[in-house]
Amino acid sequence: MTMTITEKIIARAAGKDSVSPGDVVFANVDKVMVHDVSGPGVATIFNDLEKEGHKIDKLWDPSRIWVAEDHFVPASDKQAAQNIGTLEDFVKRFHISKHFKYGIGQFGICHTLSHEEALVLPGEVYVGGDSHTNTTGALGAFAVGMGHTDVAYVMLNGTIWFRVPETLLFKINGRLPDYAMAKDMILRIIGDIGTDGGAYYAMQFDGSAVREMAMDERITLTNMTTEAGAKNGVIDPDEKTVEYLKARTSEKFTPVHGDKGAEYAKVYEYEAGKMVPLVAKPYSPANVVEARELTGVELDKAYVGSCTGAKLTDLREVAKILKGRKVKIRTEILPAAQSIFMQALKEGLVQIFMESGALVGPPTCGACCGAHMGVLRKNEVCISTTNRNFPGRMGDKESKTYLASPKTAAASAVTGRITDPRDLR
Amino acid sequence: MTILRGRVHKYGANIDTDVIIPGAYLKEMDPKKLATHAMEGVDSEFTKKVKPGDFVVAGRNFGCGSSREHAPIALKYSGIKAVLAPTFARIFYRNAVDGSHLLPIEITDDAYSKIEKDDELEIDLQNGQIKNLSRGASYTMKPFPDIVLKIIQAGGLMNYKPDKH
């Protein structure tokens, strides 16, 4: 029986020879992550269980658990600081060693750390207390976002129930033109299938354009499968995946590959060469039009940040556009992890950003989810490299967010209105 | 399982977790305080109108967006017992069931279009029937998948003992 990569990983983790879409299984989990929003939630559940008389002496396997601080850091107020304290107590109590503390060494957004630090490996089952856990499927893992009850269950039992998803295969052939990015590609797909077009499915990406993409561009594809409602996003690992991980870990791993002739619920084909810069208008990531159709839209802010839009490739592309130019609107650039910030510094990107007049800040999810550090006021209009533009997502519910690639966001920062990077003089 | 009775608060499709409970409140750990901001992004009157036992009836893809369990928690503590929608986003659905916060009940698109705000509904979970007491109509609910039913009956995933596999 042939299986997709997602089915194969689940089957192995469930101790079965094979699984089919629709099967419900309990599967062993390899890695689990919480951050400063889902972590305190897990701690609350453990407190409640203990109040009910359950004893929690130890977790299933602390070496497979890792913790990030990314949403309300640097602590936005007293409550946020308290939650970080709760997370610290939790980590100490259960002897979790992989704690990426904000302001010490390597830290940043959880979905960036997962690949930057090779915390998840090909073929693994990875559960994270955040919806964009899908991101890490770009490494060839089965990566799924869940709420804090499910994460707490995994931390205690090392296993969780899954319904095996059908897979949608997106074959992206050819080569992306130099004015388009993976963000344009995934916006095109979400625009075509809608915010529930991938609901309960695995969304798998393949084709020569995907194979050619840098790892951190591939990650943009899997990251935003969440915006199509998918259970997971995945890319069958290749030499690039292996090379990327070997540079970051000495841990051994055996990639799992989908079978030839595996069944897909649907196969979509795209020609990368035809891609143009796109923008998702408020208030849905599926509300996608060509950037050139929005040329008149005046902006208040450009934001380059988040797990999907502030990786090294993103920053390099922004720098190419901002070099020797000045920004016309408030522009905030927040690399997704400290390691990326450091590399941007070494490559002179930070200098370019600052000379253009932009703000450069520390890694945080803050502004992306309207929490702190750059929240939008009523009627403000922002072009953003993030992944959501629901009402109130980045601040006041009457603010407006346009989602775009880092290139389009940078070009727009220079003109102060939505600008296709091809039209920038 | 019993019979639920309550009044309807009706919304459109793609109600996302950012409008159910905006991101700025995710640091709040007290569920009662979370409830004071429930549905703030889509209906500023919701918390004033909602009564214990009420239902949310919404269009397709309810709860899309983030994995924040704060969303079903905020609805639960505002008094909502069940959300009725043609389809749910997967994490919201899991959270509602596994955390035992509220019942995500799948209804037909037709039922969704016929139920109006302030209608009084009676939901018979045993028989999968929804009576609209305000309109003298009735609709069927989609049965819960086996595993979901077992988790609901156990009172959440933490209390659920899986069969040997």
> Residues of chain B with pLDDT > 90: what percent?
95
Residue of A nearest to B18 (CA): A393
Residue of A nearest to B162 (CA): A26
Residues of A in contact with B30 (CB under 8 A): none
**Maximum C-alpha span of chain B:** 48
Structure confidence at residue B162 (pLDDT): 84
The whole-angstrom separation of Cα B133 and Cα B5 is 10
List phi, psi (to 5°) of B43: -155, 100
Query: Which residue among B26, B91, B147 sits closest to A146, beta carbon to beta carbon?
Result: B91
- A94 in reach of chain B (CB within 8 A): no
Mention the CATH class of domain A278-423: alpha beta
- For the segment A334-356, the average pLDDT, to the nearest whole number, is 98
Query: Chains A and B: how many Cβ contacts under 8 Å?
Result: 134
B25-65 per-position pLDDT tens digit: 999 999 999 999 999 999 999 999 999 999 999 999 999 99
Could you tell me the residue range of the domain that residue B84 belongs to?
Answer: 3-155
Cβ within 8 Å of residue B2, ≥6 positions away = B125
Q: How many domains does chain B have?
A: 1
**A282 and A370 in contact (C-beta within 8 Å)?**
no
Does residue B163 form part of some domain?
no
- B86 in reach of chain A (CB within 8 A): no
**A363 and A334 in contact (C-beta within 8 Å)?**
yes
Residue A110 corresponds to which tokens in the numbers above?
A: 């959880």
A44–B29: do the CB atoms touch at under 8 Å? Answer: yes
**Can you name the residues that pair with A203 across neighbouring β-strands?**
A168, A233
The whole-angstrom separation of Cα A28 and Cα A165 is 17
* pLDDT level of residue A425 (50, 70, 90 thresholds): confident
> Judging by beta carbons within 10 Å of its beta carbon (0-12, 13-18, 19+), is residue B30 exposed, middle or buried?
exposed
Does residue B59 form part of some domain?
yes
A404-422 per-position pLDDT tens digit: 999 999 999 999 999 999 9
- A130 in reach of chain B (CB within 8 A): yes
A23-71 per-position pLDDT tens digit: 999 999 999 999 999 999 999 999 999 999 999 999 999 999 999 999 9
A351-371 per-position pLDDT tens digit: 999 999 999 999 999 999 999
A370-384 per-position pLDDT tens digit: 999 999 999 999 999
B61-94 per-position pLDDT tens digit: 999 999 999 999 999 999 999 999 999 999 999 9
Structure confidence at residue A17 (pLDDT): 97
Residue A188 corresponds to which tokens in the numbers above?
A: 């095109």
Q: At B60, is the secondary structure helix, strand, or coil?
A: coil
Structure confidence at residue A160 (pLDDT): 98
Does residue B70 form part of some domain?
yes
pLDDT at B105 over 90: yes
Query: Which residue among A24, A37, A80 sits closest to B68, beta carbon to beta carbon?
Result: A37
Place of tokens 């028989």: B127
- A336 in reach of chain B (CB within 8 A): no
> Judging by beta carbons within 10 Å of its beta carbon (0-12, 13-18, 19+), is residue A283 exposed, middle or buried?
buried
- For the segment A181-200, the average pLDDT, to the nearest whole number, is 98
Give the H or E element holding residue A83: helix A78-93
Query: Which residue among A77, A195, A231 sits closest to B64, beta carbon to beta carbon?
Result: A195
Strands A167-173 and A266-271 come out as parallel
Residues of B in contact with A29 (CB under 8 A): none
Residues of A in contact with B38 (CB under 8 A): none
Mutate to test the interface with A, among B29, B67, B152 (most CBs of A within 10 A): B67
- A311 in reach of chain B (CB within 8 A): no
Query: Which residue among B26, B99, B146 sits closest to A147, beta carbon to beta carbon?
Result: B99
User: Any idea which fold A5-269 has?
Assistant: Aconitase; domain 3 (3.30.499)
- CATH number of the domain at B8, please: 3.20.19.10
Mutate to test the interface with B, among A26, A150, A227, A398 (most CBs of B within 10 A): A150
> Residues of chain A with pLDDT > 90: what percent?
99
DSSP E strands, chain B: 3-10, 55-57, 82-85, 103-106, 120-124, 129-132, 137-140
List phi, psi (to 5°) of A395: 150, -135
Residues of A in contact with B22 (CB under 8 A): 370, 392, 397
Residue B68 corresponds to which tokens in the numbers above?
A: 């924040």
Query: Which residue among A41, A284, A391 sits closest to B69, beta carbon to beta carbon?
Result: A41
Numbered ranges of CATH 3.30.499.10 in chain A = 5-269, 278-423
Q: State how far residue B61 is from chain A, nearest Cα, in angstroms.
A: 6
Structure confidence at residue B1 (pLDDT): 57
The whole-angstrom separation of Cα B130 and Cα B152 is 18
DSSP state of A324: T
Does residue B31 form part of some domain?
yes
B120-164 per-position pLDDT tens digit: 999 999 999 999 999 999 999 999 999 999 999 999 999 999 875
Residue of B nearest to A77 (CA): B27
The whole-angstrom separation of Cα B85 and Cα B52 is 19
A150–B157: do the CB atoms touch at under 8 Å? Answer: yes
Query: Which residue among A133, A231, A390 sits closest to B19, beta carbon to beta carbon?
Result: A390
A130–B67: do the CB atoms touch at under 8 Å? Answer: yes
- A76 in reach of chain B (CB within 8 A): yes
**A165 and A143 in contact (C-beta within 8 Å)?**
no
**A277 and A187 in contact (C-beta within 8 Å)?**
no
Mutate to test the interface with A, among B45, B69, B163 (most CBs of A within 10 A): B69
- Quick check: bond before A283 cis, omega within 30? yes
- B61 in reach of chain A (CB within 8 A): yes
A424 vs B2, residue with greater confidence: A424
Residues of A in contact with B37 (CB under 8 A): none
- For the segment B2-28, the average pLDDT, to the nearest whole number, is 95
- For the segment A320-349, the average pLDDT, to the nearest whole number, is 98
Structure confidence at residue B164 (pLDDT): 55
**Complex ipTM value:** 0.96
Read off the amino acid at residue A278: L
- A393 in reach of chain B (CB within 8 A): yes
The b-or-e profile of B70-82 (16+ CB within 10 A means b, else e) is bbbbbbbbbbbbb
- The Cα angle at residue B105 between residues A388 and B41, in degrees rounded to 5: 35
A131–B67: do the CB atoms touch at under 8 Å? Answer: yes
- Quick check: bond before A74 cis, omega within 30? yes
Instruction: Count Cβ atoms below 10 Å from residue B15 Cβ, excluding itself.
Output: 28
> What is the DSSP annotation of A127-187?
EESSGGGGGGGGGT-EEEE--HHHHHHHHHHSEEEEEPPPEEEEEEES---TT--HHHHHH
* pLDDT level of residue A172 (50, 70, 90 thresholds): very high
- For the segment A225-254, the average pLDDT, to the nearest whole number, is 97
- B157 in reach of chain A (CB within 8 A): yes
Residue B98 corresponds to which tokens in the numbers above?
A: 């596994």
